[in-house]
Amino acid sequence: MKLFAKPTRIAFMAKRYHAVIFSGTLILVSLVSFFVRGLALGIDFTGGTVIEVGYAQPVDLSQVRATLKGAGFGDATVQHFGTPRDVLIRLAPREGEDSAKLSDHAFAALKEAVGGKVELRRVEFVGPQVGDELTEDGGLAILYSLIGILIYVAMRFEYRFAMGSVIALIHDVIITVGFFSLFQIQFDLTVLAAVLAVIGYSLNDTIVVFDRIRENFRKVRKGTVISIIDQSINETLSRTLVTSGTTLLVLIALFLLGGEIIHGFALALILGIVVGTYSSIYVASTAVVMLGVSRSDLMPVKKEKEVDGMP
């Protein structure tokens, strides 16, 4: 599918130094925010209290959130669990306060708001040790995925392309996580899942560009490395924008209509796809150029001619 009526001839690599400055600034801001402010970790990582309640009638989650906020639980996470009458509530831990008393206080506020027509189904306490394990496992999941991608791309293309793809992915992850740190948006397991999905999405886009670069290096006899990379990006630009655009339409609908519980997940994917599309065009290709890739690096190896029946 073509997005443009005529082939584009945008000189992307002419702006590569501007892209380096822009990306470097975003990464610096993200890292400073991460180390100074940290992440607003959700209950999945910090531990806390899980409360399941059942109402006599279907209940609006906004009313439940308003009740909990009035009781001093403004950071509570609320979602339906099974039916519109069943609600799952997650309360973050509070230093110096007993988890059982927190759950009793929250349930008392909910019970008072509906005149006692609510039933306490279960209460569970998630310790901080579980949260620490999830934090460590989440970090390792990202690290292992980057190592696997490095090996895969190195085998499929060439080590400079592998380094370029991993640099682009690290760029995407740092900026996405940095945004959550900068604006103190809750970071939970759903956001971590979105970050891992961003890695796969961005890599797919980068591989498409790299595949066209390799094809053009072998096909175009005249032309510099810069001109061939520009040509390759322009040839895949329609595909990149159409794929990213249609995905963003779905994610924006999820963000606006999917409910509060899925906001973090949708926002992380929206950010990741926007940044990943940019990095596939500028960061990955710029990294390959700076690492010194040449036409000979991607030319197929010629087999030695047989002499007297011997290889």
Q: pLDDT tens for residues 60-69?
A: 888 888 888 8
pLDDT given for residue 305 in this prediction: 47
In the structure encoding, which two tokens stand for residue 72, read together? 């001093």
- Structure token pair of residue 261: 């519980």
Q: Which residues of the chain have pLDDT under 70?
A: 1-5, 96, 127-132, 134-135, 294-311
**Can you tell me which residue has the tokens 């309360």?**
91
Q: What is the pLDDT of residue 299?
A: 58
pLDDT the model gives residue 300 = 56
CATH code: domain 14-39+130-296 is 1.20.1640.10
Amino acid at 7: P
Instruction: State residue 8's pLDDT score.
Output: 78
Q: In this structure, what token pair is assigned to residue 100?
A: 């059982």
Q: Which residues of 275-288 are buried (b: 16+ CB within 10 A; e: fewer)?
A: bbbbbbbbbbbbbb
- As given in the structure block, the two tokens for residue 296 are 């000979």
Strands 40-41 and 83-91 come out as unpaired
Q: Are 165 and 210 in contact (CB under 8 A)?
A: yes
pTM recorded for the entire structure? 0.77
CATH number of the structural domain 48-126: 3.30.70.3400
C-alpha to C-alpha distance for 109 and 1, rounded to whole angstroms: 56
Spatial contact of 27 and 171, defined as CB atoms under 8 Å apart: yes
CATH 1.20.1640.10 domain residues, the chain: 14-39+130-296
- Give residue 104's pLDDT: 86
Q: How much is the pLDDT for 292?
A: 79
Q: What is the pLDDT of residues 253-277, one digit of tens each?
A: 988 887 777 888 999 999 999 999 9
Chain region(s) in the chain for CATH 3.30.70.3400: 48-126
